[in-house]
Amino acid sequence: MDMDKLVSLCKRRGFIFPSSEIYGGLNGFWDYGPLGVELKNNIKQAWWQDMVRNPPPGPDGEEVVILGVDCAIIMNPRVWEASGHVSGFADPMVDCKKCRKRFRADKVWLAAYVDAEGVSEADLLAVVEQLRTSATAAGTVSQAVASPKLVVPLEADGRDEAERHTLSKTQQKAFKHKPIRLLFPLPQAPASWPRKCPACGEGDLTEPRSFNLMFKTFVGALEDASSVAYLRPETAQGIFVNFKNVLDSSRVKLPFGIAQIGKAFRNEINPRNFTFRSREFEQMEIEFFCHPGESMKWYRYWRDVRKEWYTRLGIRSERLRPREQGKDELAHYSIGTTDIEYLFPFSNEPQELEGVAHRGCFDLSQHQQFSGKDLSYFDEAAWERDKAALGFTSFKEWVKSNPPKEQVEKYQFIPHVIEPSAGADRFTLAVLCEAYDEDEIGGEKRVVMRFHPRLAPIKAAVLPLVNKDGMPERALALYRELKREFPVFYDDSGAIGRRYRRQDEIGTPYCFTIDGQTAEDGTITLRNRDDCVQIRIPIAAAADELRKRIRD
């Protein structure tokens, strides 16, 4: 499939336009047109219906409870400190050009070994310490820096202060003499020093670059530092910070999930591939909270449920690729993550549609720490079950008796969370790619969008075969009946074949045609998009037939 043809069709028929196109567009932003908004709304509604209102039965056949929220896009900036988005990505970063590893610039230390006479190590370390606080080079250091014997970078992340001043054993072994070490955080190191990768030791590091991908804005009319806020880079945090609110207001018990559909914003370095990497995009996210001991069961459940959902909505199985992330890919807090990927036409590599992540208790713990609010869950049923055996009636009293921590955590704990996080725009794009097809009908080529009927922007077209003999009147009456319930389209313009092809191109699954026989016996034809086969049905049965066919 040719991506250019799809982009052209999307523009021509009103699925997707470049944002603010008459001003030349804006890189990374897109608008959905009349058909695109129907398609994307259908996708979001299908997700909400199938995941929130009616999720599949749980691993043991139990009811699964999911509740919805719709949170503000702008949140208290402290949220993003707790989530790690500010600290992790406000700092200048450097990348290894060879092994592609990324490091915070100030965590990479360049070290020089110097054969300096009459300079004690203690002196040097003192100067280095001074450098770290004042960034002013002392004479001794300047002298030593002028003729370094070797420069080795260090990655200081996760090491204590003492270790920062020590090279690894293998690195030290490389020298028979006792070297004197000089260390600088990378941004302060002399420009002449080679900047080699701490991980592979071979590749050069890029210049430090600022990598905060969050959109910044100001709350209130005054644009000063105290009013800085961010457009959310993900919808998940709105769920986490409302965990207690939902728990306290909705009479739910663990396990349960909270779902949200909403816009998110990321300053992608290089948006590309049509809408795939947009700077403004929509997410469909669930945070499913459960007992730590049951979390793997739920992780596997959501991984399977989510893959099945895409398949059911018409994504061909061989292009859909669930992929368990390797240990080296996982975020440090994650126990497991499965990317559900789709092989888009614009790439040889499958691209992520959704990530199903086991995030442990990381997020709630972070928010508990940063907000100072208790975000733990008390499992009343478990306590009621066990309290007699433990010899207590009050949980508090029992805790005072200093039972083992693991025991307490059976009843009071920070829930673990499974996060199926899907991209609404990415799935919409996958649906468009998947639907695009060219075939031949009676020797004539046609373009047909083979949308699942549930997702199709227009469900049916109503067409008078010709504009006479009362056909337009009957057709209009049917159209007016159907449009109360379905998105339908009326077309009396041009030859019937042309009208069928127009509907094929926008993926309308069915066409009702009123012909000469309608006046005689009250039947119309129902034409199927995918094979062009027609059947006759009573005009009065049209709505029922459509309803039946659209239902999953």
Candidate residues 48, 89, 333, 486; the one interacting with RNA per rule CB under 7 A:
89
Question: 274: phi > 0 → left, psi -120 to 50 → alpha, else beta; which?
Answer: left
Peptide bond into 292 cis (omega under 30): no
Q: Please give, one letter per residue, the 3-state secondary structure of 268-319.
A: CCCCCCCCCCCCEEEEEEEEEEECHHHHHHHHHHHHHHHHHHHHHCCCCHHH
Closest distance between RNA and the C-beta of residue 431, in Å?
18
Residues 546 and 458: their CA atoms lie apart, in Å, by 12
Q: Residue 232 and residue 214: Cα distance in Å, rounded?
A: 7
**Residues 394-453 contacting RNA, CB under 7 A:** 441-442, 444-447
Q: Is the CB of residue 49 less than 8 Å from the CB of residue 211?
A: no
Q: How far is the CB of 441 from RNA (least distance, A)?
A: 4
**Locus of tokens 């990317």:** 339
Task: Tell which positions 100-119 bind RNA, by CB under 7 A.
Answer: 100, 102
Residue 467 within binding range of RNA, rule CB under 7 A: yes
274 vs 342, beta carbon nearer RNA: 274
Q: Does 483 bind RNA (CB under 7 A)?
A: no
Q: Which is nearer to RNA, 406 or 520 (CB)?
A: 520
> CA–CA separation, 182 vs 111, rounded Å?
5
For residues 58-85, b (16+ Cβ closer than 10 Å) or e, as one string? beeeeebbbbbbebebebebebbebbeb
Residue 4 binding RNA, by CB under 7 A: yes
For 201, 239, 241, 370, the CA distances from 363, given in Å and listed in that order, are 34, 10, 9, 11
288 vs 258: CA distance, rounded Å: 6
- If one asks whether residue 243 binds RNA (CB under 7 A), the answer comes out as no
Site string for RNA, 493-522 (x = CB under 7 A): xxxxxx-xxx--x-------x-xxx-----
Output the smallest distance, CB 492 to RNA, in A: 8
* x/- letters, 301..340, toward RNA (CB under 7 A): ------------------------------x---------
Size of the site for RNA (CB under 7 A): 64
Burial environment of residue 344 by CB neighbours within 10 A (0 to 12, 13 to 18, 19 or more): buried
Widest pairwise Cα distance in the chain: 113
Stretch that binds RNA, among 263-271, 356-364, 449-457, 478-486 (CB under 7 A): 263-271
- Window 11-40: residues binding RNA (CB under 7 A): 11-12, 18, 24-28
Say whether residue 274 binds RNA (CB under 7 A). Answer: yes
The one among 40, 107, 266, 307 contacting RNA by CB under 7 A: 266
Residue nearer to RNA on the CB measure, 233 or 238: 233
DSSP letter (8 states) at residue 214: S
Q: Which of 69, 343, 399, 532 binds RNA (CB under 7 A)?
A: 532
Tell me, what amino acid is at 183? Answer: L
Binding RNA by CB under 7 A: which of 38, 50, 95, 379?
A: 95
Q: Verify binding: residue 176, RNA, rule CB under 7 A.
A: no
Comparing CB distances to RNA, the nearer of 132 and 549 is: 549
Contact 420, 286 (CB under 8 A): yes
Among 165, 244, 277, 306, binds RNA (CB under 7 A): 277
Residue 171 Cβ, how far from RNA at the closest point, in Å? Answer: 24
272 near RNA (CB under 7 A): yes
- Tell the smallest beta-carbon distance from residue 410 to RNA (Å): 31
Q: Give the distance from CA 236 to its chain's centroid.
A: 9
Per-position x/- string for 209-228, each x denoting binding to RNA as judged by CB under 7 A, each - no binding: ----xx--------------
How far is the C-alpha of 165 from the C-alpha of 434, rounded, in Å? 56
- Per the listing, tokens 């900047």 go with 195
CB of residue 347 to RNA, shortest distance in Å: 8
Contact 259, 69 (CB under 8 A): yes
| Residue 459 identity | K
The site string for RNA over 135-174 (x = CB under 7 A, - otherwise) reads ----------------------------------------
Question: Any residues with CB less than 8 A from the CB of 415 and at least 6 apart, and which?
Answer: 254, 255, 289, 290, 291, 292, 361, 364, 377
Please, which residue, 386 or 469, has the CB nearer to RNA? 469
CB 86 within 8 A of CB 75: no
Q: Which stretch binds RNA (CB under 7 A): 68-76, 103-111, 139-147, 459-467?
A: 459-467
Nearest to 455, CA basis, from 8, 47, 6, 17: 47
246: contact with RNA by CB under 7 A: no
* 332/551 with CB nearer RNA: 332
Shorter beta-carbon distance to RNA: residue 23 or 221? 23
Q: Which position among 219, 269, 381, 540 is part of the footprint of RNA (CB under 7 A)?
A: 269
Nearer of residues 313 and 432 to RNA, judged by Cβ: 432
| Least distance to RNA, CB of residue 429, Å | 12
- Report the residue number, 277 or 459, with the smaller CB distance to RNA: 277
Residue 257 to residue 405: CA distance in whole angstroms: 26
Build a one-symbol-per-residue string for 56-85: x at contacts with RNA by CB under 7 A, - elsewhere. Answer: -----------------------------x
Determine contact, residues 69/238, Cβ cutoff 8 Å: yes
Contact footprint for RNA (CB under 7 A): 3-4, 8, 11-12, 18, 24-28, 85, 88-89, 95, 97, 100, 102, 213-214, 233-234, 266, 268-274, 277, 331, 346, 441-442, 444-447, 465-469, 493-498, 500-502, 505, 513, 515-517, 524-525, 527, 532-534
